[in-house]
Every structure is written in C-alpha cells, then in structure tokens.
Structure 1
Amino acid sequence: MYRPKTTLEQWRILQAVVDYGGYAQAATKLNKSQSSLNHAVAKLQGLLNVQLLEVKGRKAFLTEAGEVMLRRSRHLTQDVEELEALAESINQDWEPEITLAVDLAYPRALLYPVLADFLPQSRGSRVKLLDTVLTGTEDAITQGWADLVIGGSVPRGYLGEAIGEIYFEAVCHPSHPLAQMPSPLDSNELEHHLQLVIKDTSASPQEKQGWLKSELRWTVSQFQTAIDLLCQGIGFCWLPCHEVRDLVKQGKLVRLSIRHSSFRKHINWLVLPRPDTSGPGTRLLQELILAHRQLKAPDSGQDPRNNNAND
C-alpha cells in the first residue's frame, strides 16, 4: 500500500501562505508561528524535491510547478473536507439549520410560497435566509457556507438548475438630464453622470459584471435605497424590472433607451454546493424551489420588461 510522504496539514499551510499573501499573514490567520509555517513549506518542498515557492523581497510567489501542485492540492483538501462532512451527515437524521443564500435580484415573491410550503414539513429546522450580491453569491457556493444558493451564475466546477429569468434596465428620474436627451443614448453620455451601484457582498469583490464606467459612482447595499435616491433625482441605476415596473408606470421613474443595450437578461440558477453531503431538509427545500420555478422566455417581439416572468 502506498504511504504518502506529505501531509494534509502541509498542503493547507501552503494554500494559506498563497491565499493570504505571505508567511506573516498566514501565520496570523492560522494562529501559528511564522517559523513553523516556513519549516512546513520547506519540508514539503524537500520531500517532493520540487520548488513550490520563491521569495522575492518580503513576498512568496508560486513557481510554475507550484501553481500546478497547489491547484491539485485544493482538490485533495476539499475531498477530505467533503468526506468528513459526509460522515457527519450520515450520523444526523435532519439538519437543525439550513442556510439559503439568495442573490438580491431574485424576486422574493417567487420565494415566499416555497418557504410557506416548507414550514409544515421542516421538522423544526431553522432557516437562515441571507441576501447576497454578485461575487458574494458565488462565494456562498465556492466557500461552501450556504446549503442552497440562488444566483445569477454557476461557478466553474459546479452544477445548477435554471429556475427563472431576470431583466435589468437603466432608469432615472424624469427630470434627470439623461431623461432629457434624445434617444437612444450613447453609452459615452452615461460616463459623465452619477451611477448608483449595489454593493457586492463578497469580502473580495470582483467587478466582472455590469456596466461600471461612470466617472462618479455611489454604492448602496439595497435596491430600495437606490430607488429612493433615484426618486430624488439623484443618479441613474440598472435595476431589476420587477423592482421598478410600478414606479415607471406611475411616471416616477423613466427607462433609459441606450444604444445596443435596451435591457440586460440574467438567468437565475439554483445550486446545491455540496450535493453529496446535503441533508434531507436541504433536499426537500431544493425540490420545493424547483417545483415553484417560473422559467418563461418572452414571446418573440415582446418587450421582456412587461413579461409576467418578472412579476
């Protein structure tokens, strides 16, 4: 039988040194001495006879071989974590708490009937319903802190079920200068006006979605705050159609017609981050969400902002 030369702890220390940006930072996060981390990585490199890190100045950088080994090591440590979680799941009949992370843009009107159906069957499980935005929603999946996640994308290496569609449109107050300009607007015009954006809930946000080219941006944490500012004539913002439809109908907000971008479409995905270790309560909640999903594509030629799928 093969006996490994290295230990999981050595690989975890290597991951921490890379993830936290150096030995000193990793030592603080792991509550270990910096010398013990240096020793562990040095021993790991010696056992493998491969240089994984090289120090330049005060920072440690991965070598090409180190990048490959680190990537493979993450699969190893994740598999062990999932194996231990599976053992814990086998020993419990029904999870005491279920964490459901839901992207802020997902219509809550679609979610509440699900929770109403779940309550009589929940066996006393507590439900933690948390709002997430953009990268924060992906973190709930990749970091595994949520049992179920509803978001606008599926990270690489995970599977998801499509459960609906959301359309975003740019809106502002009728008196805003952008609303007075001839349509359609050139996107260059937007760059000179205040843009309201919703705060990414990730600790390490990545600006990889949406139009974020305005020279001046204000960040808020909720759609309602953005809507309140818009109604005061402050800025413009891309918001879900279902959040602003009534205000547009009442004339309190207006849609901006922008060349090459009348609206943006997002698919809603339901993701089970740890399918092999999910408990029966999580599985039931997943089934109920799928049973209530409303996947409706707009009819050809119909303005999707008026489609019932956004209600």
Structure 2
Amino acid sequence: MALPRTTLEQWVVLQTVIEQGSYAQAATVLNRSQSSVSYALSGLQERIGLPLLEINGRKATLTEQGRALLAQATPLISAFLQLEHRAAGLKGGVRTELSLVVDSVFPQNRLFRALKHFQSQFPDTRVHLTEILRGESLEQLSEQSADLYITTLAPENAIHGRFLLDVDFVPVAKSDHPLLSLPVPLTAQDLARFPLISVADRHARSEDKHPAGTVAHWTFTTVGAALEAITVGVGYGWLPLESVDKALESGLLSRLMLSARTVRQTSLYMVLDNETQRYDQTVSELAKSILEECGLLP
C-alpha cells in the first residue's frame, strides 16, 4: 500500500489560509511563522502537481482545482479532528457506549431534551435506549444490563436510586366521542359502555384489564400507540398529561369530567444498575441531564 504524498497538516494550512484570507492571518491563527505557512503550501502544490492558490492583491483565493480538492479534503479534516477528540475522551475515561432503560410513560419530550444535552457534551458516546412496559420486575430489569433505568420501581431495592417525578394521567377521549355528549360528571356505568384504551402495566391484575360486564378493553405497550388509538376514536383512556397537552390545546382530544378522581399518578425513579456500582463521569452526566429535565437540579 502506497503512503499518501500529502499530509493532513498541509490541507489544514490550506483551509486556514482560505478562511483567513491571507498567509499572515493564517500564520497568526496557527501560531506559526508566515514562512512555514508558505513552505507547507508550496510543498502541497508541488506534491499535488496542481496550482491550488492564487493571490489577488493581498487576498489568497482558491483556483478551480483548489476548490474541488479542498471540498473533498474538508470532511477528512473534520473526521480526523473527531478521531483525536474521541481518543482524548477515551484517555480521560469517557465511555464509548451507554445503555438506558426507560419506562414507556416517562415524558418523551423531557427524555430527548436530556439526551440532546448529553450528546452535546459527549458526541462520541452512543446511547442504546430500550423502552419497557410499566412495572417491569427487578429480574426483568436486570436482564436488560443497562447503566441507568427510569422505572416505576422504588429505589430501595437498588444501590443508587432517586425519585424523578410523578406522571399525571388524565382521562381523555376524541372530542366527538359519544362520552362527551353524556351528562357530567360521568359515572363508572357510563364509562363501562365504551372500550378503555390503556398502556400495558405488568402489575395490572387480569380483572382490572377486563372487568365483568364491560366491553372489551384495548391494551398497548406504548403511550404513543394508545394515544393514536384514542385520537382516531377507538375508545377513551388515561394518558400522561404531558403526552396529550398539545392534542387537548388543539381540541382534537378533550378531558373527561368524572364523578371519581380525575387525575392518577405514577411515580418514576432513576436507578443505577447494581452491577455498575459507581457513577463514572459519562453515566453521571447522563443522569445529571435527566435530573435537570425533571427540575431536580438548579
């Protein structure tokens, strides 16, 4: 395999000269002498065998060939800088991959804002996200082998755990659903005439899923699927308020006025995997981003 005739350093010098407009300005930015900048570019053009630069007055501009070649070299320069940045991170203990297990009822807008913030700090760390049903058991969670969990399980069974938030569930239906035409407040008998759309819960008892004397209930594994079913009018259901607030604002969905309580809550916790038994820097920053989105950090 033949070695490259040019160096990455020469292409960086060329890029800097074009960005700064002159050899002198590029030398200042690169903390080099002007003669070394000129030498690097002369060597680059000699090895390429093409004129890459031309001087118009005091400004250095690219030739047609120079524009084409620098355009191809630019992503290579960026990739190499990212490689060095990643190497520095690995040297400092930055993880290359993290796994996060999240209960399906955790507000996705908060989750993805936290992940975006984490990504800005650790762009080279890949996050593997797994969504689970409500109330997964500790055995099922341990099978996931994640670094962090967001779960309905209280943290006393884990080494590191912290309360995150209470998810408020509200009863909703499509705004033209027959329930909205009945006198309020709605009774249990009123509700029993229509399908209940719910998000699957490992702790739900079978009689809760389909009580005697009611129409068939529908169960989905994600909030998104349950919301879509309610939006098209399949039935009514209890959904996280943060997941339906836009649909309520637009008038697509309406809250149901019940004779019983109109808000249910599910508590969520952040739990560190028992096998990890430590917060390294990368896991700690991911946890911090999640806590900030839950309003638990200043």
CA distance in 1, matches of 2:206, 2:147: 25
Q: CA RMSD in A?
A: 3.1
CA gap 1:292/1:227 in 2 versus in 1, 3 angstroms: closer
- The one-letter amino acid of 1:99's match is S
Q: Secondary structure at the match of 1:136?
A: coil
CA gap 1:131/1:291 in 2 versus in 1, 3 angstroms: same
Following superposition of structure 1 onto structure 2, how do residues 54-133 of structure 1 map, counting pairs within 5 Å?
A: 93-122=93-122, 124-133=124-133
Please report how far the alpha carbon of residue 196 of structure 1 lies from its aligned counterpart in structure 2 after TM superposition: 1.3
Q: Are the counterparts in 1 of residues 97 and 126 from structure 2 also a CA contact under 8 Å? A: yes
Please tell me whether residue 241 in structure 1 is matched to residue 238 in structure 2.
no
CA distance in 1, matches of 2:123, 2:222: 32
Please report how far the alpha carbon of residue 210 of structure 1 lies from its aligned counterpart in structure 2 after TM superposition: 11
CA gap 1:210/1:119 in 2 versus in 1, 3 angstroms: farther
CA distance in 2, matches of 1:208, 1:150: 23
- The one-letter amino acid of 2:187's match is D
Following superposition of structure 1 onto structure 2, how do residues 139-218 of structure 1 map, counting pairs within 5 Å?
A: 141-143=141-143, 145-154=145-154, 157-158=157-158, 159-200=160-201, 205-207=202-204, 212=209, 213=211, 214-218=214-218
Q: If you compute each CA radius of gyration, which structure gives the higher value, 1 or 2?
A: 2
- The one-letter amino acid of 1:199's match is A
- The one-letter amino acid of 1:170's match is P
Q: Are the counterparts in 1 of residues 155 and 269 from structure 2 also a CA contact under 8 Å? A: no
Quote the residue 2:68 is aligned against. none
Q: Secondary structure at the match of 2:163?
A: strand
Could you list the per-position Cα deviations for residues 2-44 of structure 1 after superposition, in whole angstroms to 9, with x for gaps in the alignment? xxxxxxxxxxxxxxxxxxxxxxxxxxxxxxxxxxxxxxxxxxx
Quote the residue 1:281 is aligned against. 282
- The one-letter amino acid of 1:236's match is Y
CA gap 1:258/1:292 in 2 versus in 1, 3 angstroms: same
CA distance in 2, matches of 1:210, 1:263: 21
Quote the residue 2:251 is aligned against. 251
Please report how far the alpha carbon of residue 134 of structure 1 lies from its aligned counterpart in structure 2 after TM superposition: 0.7
Following superposition of structure 1 onto structure 2, how do residues 11-22 of structure 1 map, counting pairs within 5 Å?
A: none
- The one-letter amino acid of 1:291's match is E
- The one-letter amino acid of 2:260's match is H
Following superposition of structure 1 onto structure 2, how do residues 220-235 of structure 1 map, counting pairs within 5 Å?
A: 220-235=220-235
CA distance in 2, matches of 1:293, 1:249: 23
Q: Secondary structure at the match of 1:196?
A: strand
Q: Which runs of 5+ in 2 are unaligned?
A: 1-91
Q: Are the counterparts in 1 of residues 155 and 161 from structure 2 also a CA contact under 8 Å? A: no
CA gap 1:276/1:126 in 2 versus in 1, 3 angstroms: same
CA distance in 1, matches of 2:286, 2:218: 36
CA gap 1:108/1:140 in 2 versus in 1, 3 angstroms: farther
Q: Are the counterparts in 2 of residues 141 and 271 from structure 1 also a CA contact under 8 Å? A: no
Could you list the per-position Cα deviations for residues 175-201 of structure 1 after superposition, in whole angstroms to 9, with x for gaps in the alignment? 32322222222223323321112235x
Moved more, 205-214 or 234-243: 205-214
Could you list the per-position Cα deviations for residues 92-141 of structure 1 after superposition, in whole angstroms to 9, with x for gaps in the alignment? 94543211111222122222332233224437332101222213375564
- The one-letter amino acid of 2:265's match is K
Please report how far the alpha carbon of residue 250 of structure 1 lies from its aligned counterpart in structure 2 after TM superposition: 2.4
- The one-letter amino acid of 1:119's match is Q
CA distance in 1, matches of 2:239, 2:278: 36
Q: Secondary structure at the match of 1:283?
A: helix
CA distance in 2, matches of 1:174, 1:113: 30
Q: Secondary structure at the match of 2:118?
A: helix
Task: Kindly tell me the number of residue pairs found equivalent between the two proteins.
Answer: 201
CA distance in 2, matches of 1:258, 1:210: 21
Following superposition of structure 1 onto structure 2, how do residues 28-43 of structure 1 map, counting pairs within 5 Å?
A: none
Q: Secondary structure at the match of 2:157?
A: coil
Please report how far the alpha carbon of residue 209 of structure 1 lies from its aligned counterpart in structure 2 after TM superposition: 11
Q: Secondary structure at the match of 1:114?
A: helix
CA gap 1:253/1:235 in 2 versus in 1, 3 angstroms: same
TM-score normalised by the chain length of structure 2? 0.58
CA distance in 2, matches of 1:210, 1:151: 24
Could you list the per-position Cα deviations for residues 199-255 of structure 1 after superposition, in whole angstroms to 9, with x for gaps in the alignment? 35xxxx332599634541122233333233223222111111111122222222121
CA gap 1:113/1:209 in 2 versus in 1, 3 angstroms: farther
